[in-house]
Chain A
């Protein structure tokens, strides 16, 4: 289980995350949604021990990420693509990650097969397409067969087949009882995938609950999302080139 409690991250005088609280439960896919710049990635980086919180806590099964022993056996995560240097092969990349957490190297071929990268195991990562890079990031996240998965915008840059693959993959992970937390700025994309939704804007939760709870009186989740985040995006909502749009 993932528990975010009263989380604050301040950069200078502005709060990137402002008293954020939510929980992601086992066996469910939790969609973590918000427009660009809402604080999704910052929250996930704090959860994964990469950034320090100004206040509040982000816990995994009651402990901070940094306190976990061999953390990849508990949490698998992907932030911003594969997180790999381009000069190394996919297999070499997964090998050092596996070794760092005492994961048997035999697991590498399994995760390569699960993500459809068996044929590219000896290809240098610099030669990967965007979608292959995303799948390599997911393969790395799966290495330790973790009970918790944290994925930051995993469908970025994927073609429709890739998006469909991710949806099925996330559902299958939840069906196995894993806790799945997935960030996205596309409500429509998450609508068919997530069980629970946490919608944030400007670092604050603006709605959370099941699809029905977040939808409220709106016709669908996407409309609800736009209504909830109206005026809280990084750009002028509804205006293009200074002309008010209908």
Chain B
């Protein structure tokens, strides 16, 4: 299993798009967080702000999660879809590792670890920068337990969403379908739907957002319920993709 993990790691990280996506996620989100926090150096309840509802410290900075979130969806879609591109690399992969279940699980695990690391670095840096650049009153180097919980939540949400994107890409054998289905959810279609359909909070991205978003910013489940719902989405789709990956002709 370790030689397979090593081989798939080489495959993932010798693709230039992986580094571009990971780099842009981190290096674009951090300056945006700095700009966002520094540009409106106003008290959180200042009436000139778009929302004069004070945002609790433990939620500040997490609104910057959206940009990198889209990028990890792209990374996961490409990770699944690139196997089925014009080169049909999947045939080489399956000839090298005919134990298909093992290959699928290794690919999913590697993606989860990679996205988890990208998410954690991106969002931890974002939260620290947010508190450094604003007058939030929170020591950026001593984040509260609640903030750490939300950092864990956002990391888990990105990771589970990436796995959902990967599962759909594997099922469809293309990167296009997960991008079409998941990207709109990540950029807020779920929140929009939630305005007139209460069931929208059970959509995978909205459920995941329950783990790190301010409850007043949308219609959310409790963090634990949200995590379970998103986890079930990921597990269900990965299960279907696993069976399909193991059984179909290529």
Q: Which residues of A contact B (CB under 8 A)?
A: 45, 48-52, 65-66, 68, 71-72, 75, 77, 79-89, 92-93, 95-97, 99-102, 125, 140
Given contacts A45-B249, A99-B3, A99-B7, contact A85 B85 (CB under 8 A): yes
* Cα distance A52–B98 in the bound complex, in angstroms: 12
Stretch of B24-32, B89-97, B120-128 contacting A (4+ beta carbons < 8 Å)? B89-97
* A71 near B98: Cβ-Cβ < 8 Å: yes
Closest residue of chain A to B247 (Cβ to Cβ) is A52
> Is B4 interfacial (CB-CB < 8 Å)?
yes
* B99 near A77: Cβ-Cβ < 8 Å: no
Given contacts A87-B17, A100-B3, A101-B96, contact A52 B91 (CB under 8 A): no
CB of A229, distance to nearest CB on chain B (Å): 25
Residues of A within 8 A of B14 (CB): 88-89, 92-93, 95-96
Kindly identify, within residues 135 to 185 of chain B, every residue whose CB is under 8 Å from any CB belonging to chain A. Answer: none
CB of B165, distance to nearest CB on chain A (Å): 18
* Cα distance A81–B88 in the bound complex, in angstroms: 9
* A82 near B87: Cβ-Cβ < 8 Å: yes
Give the A-B contact count at a CB cut-off of 8 A.
Answer: 89
> Is B198 interfacial (CB-CB < 8 Å)?
no
Q: Which 9 pairs, one residue from A and one from B, show the smallest C-beta to C-beta distance?
A: A92-B14, A83-B92, A99-B7, A100-B7, A51-B249, A100-B96, A96-B10, A66-B98, A96-B11
Residues of A within 8 A of B15 (CB): 85, 87-88
Residues of B within 8 A of A49 (CB): 94-95, 98
* B88 near A83: Cβ-Cβ < 8 Å: yes
> Is B8 interfacial (CB-CB < 8 Å)?
yes
21 A-B pairs within 8 Å (CB atoms) are namely A49-B98, A50-B249, A50-B250, A51-B249, A51-B250, A52-B249, A71-B96, A72-B95, A72-B96, A79-B88, A82-B92, A83-B87, A83-B89, A85-B82, A85-B87, A86-B85, A88-B11, A88-B15, A100-B3, A100-B96, A102-B3
Greatest chain B CB density within 10 A among A68, A95, A97 is at A97
> When the two chains form the complex, which single residue of A86, A99, A101, A102 contacts B10, counting CB atoms closer than 8 Å?
A99
Residues of A within 8 A of B89 (CB): 83-85
* A68 near B10: Cβ-Cβ < 8 Å: no
* B87 near A84: Cβ-Cβ < 8 Å: yes
Residues of A within 8 A of B91 (CB): 45, 48, 50, 79-80, 83
Residues of B within 8 A of A66 (CB): 98-99
* Cα distance A100–B4 in the bound complex, in angstroms: 5
CB of B191, distance to nearest CB on chain A (Å): 34
* Cα distance A138–B85 in the bound complex, in angstroms: 20
Closest residue of chain B to A89 (Cβ to Cβ) is B14
* Cα distance A182–B6 in the bound complex, in angstroms: 32
Closest residue of chain B to A99 (Cβ to Cβ) is B7
CB of A45, distance to nearest CB on chain B (Å): 7
Instruction: Taking A45-B91, A48-B95, A79-B88 as given, write out 7 further A-B residue pairs in contact, using a Cβ cutoff of 8 Å, ordered by the A residue number.
Output: A66-B99, A71-B95, A83-B89, A84-B87, A85-B87, A87-B82, A89-B14
* Cα distance A101–B92 in the bound complex, in angstroms: 12
Residues of B within 8 A of A50 (CB): 91, 94-95, 249-250
CB of B60, distance to nearest CB on chain A (Å): 38
Residues of A within 8 A of B4 (CB): 100
* Cα distance A3–B128 in the bound complex, in angstroms: 64
Kindly identify, within residues 1 to 42 of chain B, every residue whose CB is under 8 Å from any CB belonging to chain A. Answer: 3-4, 6-8, 10-11, 14-17
* B87 near A65: Cβ-Cβ < 8 Å: no
Residues of B within 8 A of A72 (CB): 95-96
* Cα distance A72–B98 in the bound complex, in angstroms: 10
Residues of A within 8 A of B95 (CB): 48-50, 65, 71-72, 75, 77, 83
* B87 near A86: Cβ-Cβ < 8 Å: yes
Closest residue of chain A to B10 (Cβ to Cβ) is A96
* A96 near B8: Cβ-Cβ < 8 Å: yes
Closest residue of chain B to A50 (Cβ to Cβ) is B250
* Cα distance A45–B6 in the bound complex, in angstroms: 26
* Cα distance A125–B92 in the bound complex, in angstroms: 15
* Cα distance A88–B85 in the bound complex, in angstroms: 13
* Cα distance A87–B14 in the bound complex, in angstroms: 9
